């Protein structure tokens, strides 16, 4: 499975979040601020950041932290079989960077997840990604 599918999903989910749960999106943008996160999904890397033009997902650039994972982890997390803490402790979800950046990313991730639970179109979006 192409990891690019994850970034397609991520871009779409952020767009839906902005439309359907604007308070969650505002909070997320406020927490993540200028943080630049390098996401490595199934070995394919992109850098995500928020700015005046909204979200950008680029191939190159400076980063503040790196988060690496694979599709199997996402399936287990979404299905409630694995907690974030277990995923991190088992090094299946790998976070690398300064503590402050990791804390901000973790806080942003929880806001993103709460927003996704609220967004009516999120389940279908997630299902499309997971079943692709």
Partner 1 sequence: MSPSPARPRPIGQVPFPSADFWHLAPRPAKSRVGFKEWSHFSVLGGDFDLLVNFSVMTESEGASPRSTPRLTLLVRAPDGHWDGDVEVFNRVDTTILPGLPDAVFGRNSARFIGPHYRVEAELSSRAVSAALDLHPMTQPVIANQSRLSDAESFSWMVVSHLRAEGELNVSARRYRITDAPAYHDRNWGCFMWGGSYAWEWAIILPPEALQPWCLVYSRFRDVHRGATRSQSLLLWRREFLCRKFYGRDLSISHRGLLRRERVLRLPRIASLLMPGVAADVPQEILVSARGYGDELDLRMSFDDFAQVVVPNDRWPGFTLLCEIQGRAEVTARIGGERIAFEGRVQAELNHVSR
Q: Which residues bind partner 1 (CB under 8 A)?
A: 19-24, 27, 77-80, 83-85, 110-111, 113-114, 116-118, 120-121, 123-124, 126-127
Q: At what angle do helices 4-20 and 22-32 cross, to 10 degrees?
A: 120
Identify which of residues 60 and 79 has a Cβ nearer to partner 1 in the complex.
79
**Minimum distance from CB of 61 to partner 1 (Å)?**
28
Identify which of residues 23 and 58 has a Cβ nearer to partner 1 in the complex.
23
DSSP state of 112: H
Q: Which two three-digit tokens encode residue 84?
A: 């974030």
* Residues in contact with 34: Cβ distance below 8 Å, sequence separation at least 6, in sequence order: 49, 50, 51
DSSP state of 71: H
**Minimum distance from CB of 12 to partner 1 (Å)?**
16
Reported for 50-58, long-range contacts at CB under 8 A and 24+ positions apart, including other chains, are 54/18, 55/11, 55/14, 57/7, 57/10, 57/11
Identify which of residues 47 and 111 has a Cβ nearer to partner 1 in the complex.
111
**Minimum distance from CB of 22 to partner 1 (Å)?**
6
**Minimum distance from CB of 125 to partner 1 (Å)?**
11
Identify which of residues 59 and 85 has a Cβ nearer to partner 1 in the complex.
85
């Amino acid at each position: 499975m192409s990891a690019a599918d994850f970034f397609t999903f991520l871009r779409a989910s952020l767009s839906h979040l902005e439309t359907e749960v604007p308070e969650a999106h505002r909070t997320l943008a406020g927490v993540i601020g200028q943080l630049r996160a390098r996401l490595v999904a199934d070995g394919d890397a992109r850098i995500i950041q928020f700015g005046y033009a909204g979200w950008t997902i680029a191939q190159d650039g400076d980063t503040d932290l790196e988060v690496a994972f694979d599709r199997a982890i996402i399936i287990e997390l979404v299905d409630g079989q694995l907690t974030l803490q277990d995923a991190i402790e088992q090094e299946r979800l790998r976070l690398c960077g300064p503590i402050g950046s990791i804390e901000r990313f973790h806080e942003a991730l929880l806001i993103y997840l709460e927003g996704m639970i609220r967004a009516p179109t999120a389940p279908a979006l997630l299902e499309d990604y997971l079943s692709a």
